[in-house]
Structure 1
Amino acid sequence: MAPVLGGLGLLAGMLLIAESARWLPPEPLSSTPAQNDGEMTPAPQGPIHDARPSQPARRIAEDLIAPPPLDPSGTQRIEPRPPLGELGLAQWPKTPMPQDWRETLLFRPVATSSAVFEAMGRTVAISGTVDIDPGRTCSFDNSAWPCGQRARAAFNAWLRGRALKCLLPPDVDRFAIAAPCVLGKQDVGAWLVSNGWAMAAPTGIYGKAEAVARDARMGIFGPPQ
C-alpha cells in the first residue's frame, strides 16, 4: 500500500510543477553573449534588416499641398513703387545751385520761427517751406490755440543745439537767405512739413509731405498741443 501512495505523491508533484510552468513569464532575450559549454558565443554584428517587403511612400493630397505650376510667360515685372513721402530723403533740391555755394556747418542753431533759425551770425530760412509766424493762432473743433509758438518750440526741441549742414553762398552774414539744410541724414524741410510745423511752398518739393500731415492732423492741422 505504501508504494502505491508514494507513486501517487510523485505523480501529484509532477503535475504541480507542470501547472506552475504554464504561468511563468517567458524569459527575455538577452543581448549578452550566451555561454555554451564554457565558450562564449559571439553576438550577431551589423544592422538588423526588416524582412518585410518595402512599400513606396504614400502621397497625401498633392493637389492641395504642392504649389501649382507657374508659367513664366504669364508673369510681368513692374517698376518699384516710389517712396511714400519726402520724409527721410536727405537730398538737395534738383534745381541747379550756383557753383560758389558750399555745404557749411552751422553750430548751435536757434529757431526764431517754425522754419527760420539763427546760427553763427547768420539767418537761414529752410527753402521749399512756408514759415508759420510765431504769433499765429490755429483753430481745431472751434478751439483756438497758439500754433505758431508751438511750431517754433517743436523746431527748437528737435534741433537741440545740434549742427545743421546747409548749402550756402560764401557771404551771407548781413542778410537772411533761403537754403536747404540737413540734420545728419534728415532733410530739415521734409521733417518740418511732414510733421505739420511748416507748410510746403507752392513751387517746392514737399507737397506730398504736407498732404500726409493734413490727413494725419499733424502739427498745426491737428488739435492743440
Structure 2
Amino acid sequence: MMGRALGEVKSTGRLATTLGGLGLVAGALLIAASSRWLPSYPPAQEAAEARPAPRLPVHDMRPGQPARRIAEDLIAPPPLDPSGIERIEPRPPLGELGLAAPPETSMPQDWHETLLYRPVAISSAIVEAMGRKVAISGTVDIDPARTCSFDDAVWPCGQRARAAFNAWLRGRALKCVLPPDGDRFAIAAPCMLGKQDVGAWLVANGWAMASPSGIYGKAEAVARDARMGIFGPPQ
C-alpha cells in the first residue's frame, strides 16, 4: 500500500511540472502573437526630435545690418512726404511735478549759519544787525524813495515795503548763512526767521521782487495776480 501511494505522488508531481511548462510556453506564444498586432511608439524625446521645428522669422542681429522685412506686400509703411512734416512747439507740462527744481546757490565752505539779533530793515529786502548788512538773496530790493501808482493813485510804496518788513521782523533774530568775517558792504545771503524763508515771504507778499536768476519767480507772479504789496492799491 505504501509503495502504491508513493507512485501516485510521483505521477502527480510529474503531471504538475508538465502542465506548468506548457503554461509558460503558451504565455510566451500569446505575447509574441499580440506584439505583432500592437503599434509601436517611439519614446517622447525621440518623437520630439523627429518632428521638424517650426520656421520662425530670423532677423540679422549683426551690428549695422538692417532687420529683414517680412510680408511687405501685406504690411507696408505709409508713404511720407518730408515737405509735409511741420515742427511744432512742445506741449507744456501738465503740472509742476515734472519740472526740474532750480539749482540751489552753492555757498563757500567757510560760510555757516549765523544768528543776527535785533535786525532792522533799512529797505524792503536789506537788514542790518550786529554790525552786518545782509541783502536777502533771490530778491530785488525796493528802494525806500520809490513811489508806485495804482489806477490814478500814487503812493510811497518803498517806504511802505520797509515798514512792512520791520513789522514782520519785530526784532526777532534772523538765521543767515554768512562768511566768518563782517563786511561794510551788503552781503547777499539766504535767511530764515524761525521756519519761514525770508525771501519767499517778502516776494509772496509783494514787498520785494524776484531776482531773474532766483527761485521766487512764481511767488512774484502770484503776488502780481493778487495785487499784493507794491502791485496793489495804496496801503
Task: Report the TM-score when normalising by structure 1.
Answer: 0.59
Is residue 2:224 matched to residue 1:217?
Answer: no
Is residue 2:158 matched to residue 1:152?
Answer: no
| Structure of greater Rg | 2
Q: Which runs of 5+ in 1 are unaligned?
A: 1-78, 83-92
C-alpha displacement of 1:81: 6.1
Change (3 A) 1:173 1:140: same
Where does residue 55 of structure 1 map in the other structure? none
* Structure 1 runs (4+) greater than 6 angstroms displaced: none
Pick one of 187, 205, 210 that aligns with 2:215.
205
Pick one of 118, 122, 128 that aligns with 1:108.
118
**Which structure would you say has the larger RCO, counting Cα contacts within 8 Å and 6 or more residues apart?**
1
Q: Which amino acid aligns with 1:129?
A: T
**Contact 2:114/2:175 (8 A) holds in 1:** yes
**Partner SS for 1:123:** strand
Please list the CA deviations of residues 65-86 of structure 1 after superposition, one character each: whole Å capped at 9, or x if unmatched. Answer: xxxxxxxxxxxxxx9965xxxx
C-alpha displacement of 1:174: 2.7
Is residue 2:174 matched to residue 1:164?
Answer: yes
> Which whole-Å CA distance do the structure 1 matches of 2:198 and 2:215 have between them?
12
Pick one of 187, 201, 206 that aligns with 2:197.
187
Pick one of 135, 139, 154 that aligns with 2:149.
139
> Which whole-Å CA distance do the structure 2 matches of 1:217 and 1:175 have between them?
33
**Partner SS for 2:166:** helix
> Which whole-Å CA distance do the structure 1 matches of 2:105 and 2:111 have between them?
13
Q: Which amino acid aligns with 2:140?
A: V
> Which whole-Å CA distance do the structure 2 matches of 1:103 and 1:174 have between them?
19
Q: Which amino acid aligns with 1:115?
A: A
Q: Which amino acid aligns with 1:215?
A: D
Pick one of 96, 114, 123 that aligns with 2:133.
123
C-alpha displacement of 1:142: 1.3
CA RMSD across the alignment: 2.0
Where does residue 106 of structure 2 map in the other structure? 96
Change (3 A) 1:140 1:119: same
Q: Which amino acid aligns with 1:189?
A: G
Kindly tell me the number of residue pairs found equivalent between the two proteins.
139
C-alpha displacement of 1:96: 1.6
**Partner SS for 2:192:** strand
Where does residue 48 of structure 1 map in the other structure? none
Q: Is 151-160 or 93-102 further displaced after alignment? A: 93-102
**Contact 2:131/2:182 (8 A) holds in 1:** no
| Identical columns (%) | 84
> Which whole-Å CA distance do the structure 1 matches of 2:155 and 2:185 have between them?
32
